[in-house]
Amino acid sequence: MWYNNYMKVVFLDIDGVANSEESLRHGYGGQIGIDPYMAFLIGKIQLATNCEFVLSSSWRHCEHNITEVNKKIAKIYDITPYNVKYTDEETVCEARGIHIHRGREIKAWLDLHPEVTKYAILDDDSDMLPEQLPNFFKTSWKMGLTEEIQKQVIAHLL
């Protein structure tokens, strides 16, 4: 953990990022688990950029899952909050069928951490706020994190 009034963060989803449909076939640990290759790619992001990871995945709801991420991927700096209240603009988006649940949680976390100067979001869902889209790197459940997306995240954070 380091500050210098400057911090890079990756908001990390797990299902569809650190595992995929293919991982499910392999059944790491008898369940979907964490794909070792995708964990390696995530670790390379941290090595190249000196970023911190904030778990935005539903995995953050279970202490055992957080322990697995800490052990198999990287140490988690923090988790995003739950049950974030809507702003008026977000209520309009939801009413129009534009789901921004994860984006609201990420915004709430960022609002509490002004030391963050750069961030990236790794997720296979698209429920982000419009202002977050330049920082959003979409993976897919079919493939999970790829080397191409990993390189884009590194370039974005450097």
Query: Residue 149 — pLDDT band, cuts 50, 70, 90?
Result: very high
144 - beta bridge partners? 140
Domain boundaries, the chain: 7-157
Burial class (CB in 10 A: 0-12, 13-18, 19+), 24: middle
- Phi, psi (degrees; rounded to nearest 5) at 36: -60, -40
Looking at the predicted structure, is the pLDDT value of residue 59 above 90?
Answer: no
Strands 76-79, 116-123: parallel, antiparallel or unpaired by DSSP? unpaired
Range scoring the smallest mean pLDDT among 14-23, 43-52, 131-140, 142-151 = 14-23
Instruction: Read off the pLDDT of residues 90-118 as tens digits, 9 standing for 90 and up.
Output: 444 444 444 447 888 899 899 999 999 99
CATH number of 7-157: 3.40.50
Contact yes or no for 41/150 (Cβ under 8 A): yes
pTM for the whole structure: 0.83
Count the Cβ atoms, other than its own, within 10 Å of residue 85: 8
